[in-house]
């Protein structure tokens, strides 16, 4: 597998982490409609780690409230194993960006996901 991102024609890759399957489905549709490649879905932080390690995604959409290993704990591991990934904290309860995330999105404003991700794509 070629992980060289210098020839930036390749689609941006996204890993979706949320314990709600319907929300993951909506996020997948949003990303794929916008031409991004969803490399995996995880229902909790523990599932996220091997997926992130394998795929080294450009973006991780990370639910704040997760069972077993929460968003913050997951983000700390992601910073170590996929330092180039941009982490978007995704939550129904947060009203500001947490320190462990590169960006933040409230679930009520899910339609703003793609404009938000585009701000990171040069």
Average pLDDT, integer, range 17-46: 96
Q: Which residue has the higher pLDDT, 90 or 1?
A: 90
Helices (H), 1-122: 21-33, 45-55, 71-81, 113-118
pTM score? 0.89
Asked whether the predicted pLDDT for residue 1 surpasses 70, the reply is no
Give the three-class secondary structure for 84. Answer: coil
User: 23 — phi, psi (to 5°)?
Assistant: -65, -40
Model confidence pLDDT, tens digit, residues 7-29: 445 899 999 999 999 999 999 99
**What percent of the chain is predicted at pLDDT more than 70?**
93
- Taken in order 89, 65, 16, 35, the sign of the CA dihedral is negative
* Domains of the chain as residue ranges with CATH: 13-118 (3.40.50.2300)
């Amino acid at each position: 597998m070629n992980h060289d991102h210098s020839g930036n024609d390749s689609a941006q890759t996204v890993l979706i982490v949320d314990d709600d399957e319907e929300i993951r489905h909506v996020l997948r549709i949003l990303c794929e409609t916008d031409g991004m490649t969803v490399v995996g879905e995880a229902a909790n932080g523990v599932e996220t780690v091997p997926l992130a390690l394998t795929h080294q995604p450009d973006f991780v959409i990370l639910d704040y409230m997760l069972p077993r290993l929460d968003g913050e704990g997951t983000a700390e591991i992601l910073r170590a194993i996929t330092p180039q990934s941009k982490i978007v904290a995704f939550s129904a309860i947060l009203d500001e960006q947490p320190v462990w995330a590169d960006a933040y999105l409230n679930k009520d404003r899910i339609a703003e996901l793609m404009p938000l991700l585009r701000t990171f794509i040069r």
